Structure 1
Amino acid sequence: MMVTGGTFEAARRAPLNLSVVRAVRPVLAPAAILLAAALAPVAGPTLPPSLSGLKTLGPYVVLLLGTGMGVWFNRGRTFIALASLLAAFAGYNLALEFGAASFAARAVFTAAAVLVPLNVLLALVFPERGVSHHFNYRWLMLAVVEIVCVAWIASAGRNSLSGTAWHDLLEHWLLRSPPMPLAGRLLFVAALVAATWRAWPRPPRTHTRPLDTGLAGALMAFFVACEWVTALSAFNAFMAAAGAIMLVSLLQESHRLAFHDELTGLPSRRALEERLHGLGPAHAIAMVDVDHFKKFNDTHGHDIGDQVLKLVAARLAEIQGGGRAYRYGGEEFCLLFDGRTLAETLPHLEKIRANIAAYRMAVRRDDRPKDPEDGTKLRSLRSAEKTLSVTVSIGIAEPDDVLSTPAGVLRAADKALYRAKEAGRNRVSR
């Protein structure tokens, strides 16, 4: 069985300003790094001679560090993207030894402009499996083949390839470089769309994926680097920016995993404990518990139980009155109201409790047809679906002469929660 009938309607109806903040916040770091890269060529001439080597070595350091961190964090897509960028940057710099206008430089640049977005696109199409998965060993073999082929073409030279299929391929209109070849542009657009699609928050997920956002930003930096390839300082700056964006996204992802609950998308208990230290003297804390959740879970299964937790979390995330929802653990949640009194929060708690109690979930039958048309017909027959409802109990507390710390208020809210349960559940107690 699975929950349908708009289970995540609550997440879709989240306040517009909250949705905008969630969408914009993850792109601030990539945007700042891209801006810094655009200004770097201007600041380059002002660097002291002792730091002039950073213009060339900087991208190597950033890309190598990012590739190593991708392995350390076991992120396959990040590793593939950064390894591709590193190989492209190193290969092009080696080819520049023959001159920027040489056949070797043009061949390596054309290959990099096509293969980097292609590799990223393939990494985005397939599910994330980590670095050590056998799929990535296959990709590594493919990458070796790519490098060997590009190195052979670049070293062979134009005259040796004249009249061969390789020469005809390089001269094809899709691979002509003004400066970035059309094939590279098309693959860049496809990879950027794929990264943006994967990163964008969609119910039940309420957060933007930092790693996919980082991939989109790194692709944009790589595209600008290719467009400005004739200005070597700009090329180096934007290649370094691509690596820096991926590095930042790795740090953001590690922070998200540490401070957010993966199932519900809410901040986790660890984030709650951090926030408690920063509460002002006036605040209210509410503890929320899903009524009869264990019995519900045992009756309908853990999958349905997870869907219920997501539903409750999505509703709690809508709390008004300055509240912030957290996943406390199991079927328990916490609502923090900084700068609010208990009397000010009670109407909002009653409203959210009533909204959850009034919601009806439709549960699909286990034998529901797989054919979409048959499924549509079955969905139209409401008698074929069982509806379920869930309620929550809430305990609320605020500081007083006895409760002087947020931790004490939290314990008092937990005691109030048990009073709500003893009084019959589906109510708010203080």
Structure 2
Amino acid sequence: MLIRLILRPDRFNAYLLVSTLLVSTLILEPQIQRLSSLLISLMLLLWMFALLRHGHGLAYLDELTGLPGRRALNEHLKRLGRHYCLAMLDVDHFKKFNDRYGHDVGDQVLRLVAAKLSRVRLGKAYRYGGEEFCVVFPGREIEQTLEPLEEIRQTIEQARLRLREQDRPKSNRKGRKQRGKASTAGNSVSVTISIGVAQNHTKSDCLKAADKALYRAKSAGRNRVCH
């Protein structure tokens, strides 16, 4: 049971609670302590391992989106062979979006895009930085990546992000009635992404090639996939 708790990051707090209670019991009960010094040592080692694992996760995961971050991407690139594709993705007009609606809504947009990207077929998504994301397709030809990327592009384009009303009622009762009403175009927005994908280069050159393909997608009018 303890091993399963350690291997599941979402159960980290539960593991700490269980291990703390057990260690406290062993320390406070002299008879148990004499019989279980080895168990105490094992518990402390497992506890330290859980703390290290938790810290490792914080270092490699992007806090805002929950996706692996750039550091995790760099580690993945080191393990890639010669046969892979990389896609660079960028939220269209993100700066104007932030200026108009505010950074809180901008953060919601990034979380929305990340949630859709986390389900991309055949690849693994990372937050590259700012409004940029990267998807790695190990062992894939560029033709194999186009359909999954187009699916993601369409999914994000069709998604609606509901904005919180500026004049929403303070009363919970009135608020529940208002939330039950259908959303209108005035309080929801949609976003689009541009995507560039490249294949069969050295790791640094492949990133540059994917970035150039992304630039072509933006120059061609945005909201499209280019390679």
TM-score by length of 1: 0.48
* Separation of aligned partners in 1, 2:35 and 2:132: 52
Corresponding position of 1:318: 119
The answer to whether structure 1 residue 371 and structure 2 residue 168 are counterparts is no
Q: 1:423 maps to what in 2?
A: 220
SS state at 2:214 partner: helix
Q: Is the 8 A contact 1:285 1:413 kept in 2?
A: yes
Q: String of CA shifts for 1:79-122, please: whole Å, max 9, x gaps.
A: xxxxxxxxxxxxxxxxxxxxxxxxxxxxxxxxxxxxxxxxxxxx
- Could you tell me which residue of structure 1 aligns to residue 108 of structure 2? 307
**Higher share of residues assigned strand:** 2
Aligned partner (choices 292, 308, 312) of residue 93 of structure 2: 292
2:119 partner letter: E
1:256 matched to 2:57? The reply is: yes
Q: For residue 162 of structure 1, what is the aligned residue in structure 2?
A: none
1:288 CA displacement: 0.5
Amino acid at match of 2:44: G
Which structure has the greater CA radius of gyration? 1
CA contact (8 A) 2:5 2:14 kept: no
1:29 and 1:245 in contact (8 A); partners too? no
> Could you say which residue in structure 1 is the equivalent of 2:152?
352
Q: Secondary structure at the match of 2:211?
A: helix
Partner of 2:66: 265
Q: Is the contact between residue 361 and residue 388 of structure 1 (CA under 8 Å) also seen in structure 2?
A: yes
Structure 1 residue 217: deviation in Å?
4.3
- Shift of residue 221 of structure 1? 3.7
Match of 2:84 among 269, 283, 308: 283
Q: Is residue 203 of structure 2 the alignment partner of residue 406 of structure 1?
A: yes
Q: Give the corresponding residue for 1:208.
A: 10
RMSD value, Cα = 2.6
State the aligned residue count. 226
Q: Distance in 1 between matches of 2:183 and 2:145?
A: 39
SS at match of 2:119: coil
What fraction of aligned residue pairs are identical, expressed as a percent? 46
SS in 2 for 1:208: helix
Higher helix share: 1
- Say which SS state the counterpart of residue 263 (structure 1) adopts: coil
Q: Distance in 2 between matches of 1:398 and 1:216?
A: 47
Amino acid at match of 1:349: L
Q: Confirm or deny: 8 A CA contact 1:217 1:242 kept in the other structure.
A: no
Task: Give the match's secondary structure for 1:382.
Answer: coil
Answer yes or no: is the 8 Å Cα contact 1:228–1:234 preserved in 2: no
Evaluate the alpha carbon distance shift between residue 240 and residue 372 of structure 1 in structure 2; reply closer, same or farther with a 3 A threshold: farther
Distance 1:250 1:421, change over 3 A: same
**Structure 1: gaps spanning 5 or more residues:** 1-23, 32-199, 201-206
**What is the alpha-carbon distance in structure 2 between the residues aligned to residue 220 and residue 275 of structure 1?**
38
Q: Distance in 2 between matches of 1:320 and 1:328?
A: 19
Per mean C-alpha deviation after superposition, the further-off stretch among 234-243 and 254-263 is 234-243
AA aligned to 1:339 is: G
8 A Cα contact 2:5 2:15, kept in partner = no
Label 1:347 to 1:369 Cα distance change in 2 as closer, same or farther (>3 A). same
Check whether the contact 1:217–1:245 (CA below 8 A) recurs between aligned residues: no
CA distance, structure 2, for counterparts of residue 234 and residue 345 of structure 1: 59
Amino acid at match of 1:256: G
Say if 2:27 and 2:33, in contact at 8 Å, map to a contact too: no
Tell me the SS of whatever aligns to 1:367: coil
- The alpha carbon displacement at 1:254 in A equals 2.2
Cα distance in 2 for partners of 1:30, 1:275 equals 23
How does 1:62-73 map onto structure 2 within 5 Å? none
> For the structure 1 residues 270 and 229, does the alpha-carbon distance in structure 2 shift closer, same or farther, using more than 3 Å as the test?
same
Residues 225 and 387 from structure 1, CA distance in 2 versus in 1: closer, same or farther, beyond 3 angstroms? Answer: same
* TM-score using structure 2 length: 0.88
Which 5+ residue runs of structure 2 have no aligned equivalent?
A: none
1:233 Cα deviation (Å)?
4.5
- The whole-number CA distance in structure 1 between the counterparts of 2:3 and 2:102 is 38
Cα distance in 1 for residues equivalent to 2:6 and 2:213: 45
- Structure 2 CA distance for aligned equivalents of residues 335 and 369 of structure 1: 41
Q: Distance in 2 between matches of 1:315 and 1:229?
A: 54
Are the counterparts in 2 of residues 226 and 235 from structure 1 also a CA contact under 8 Å?
no
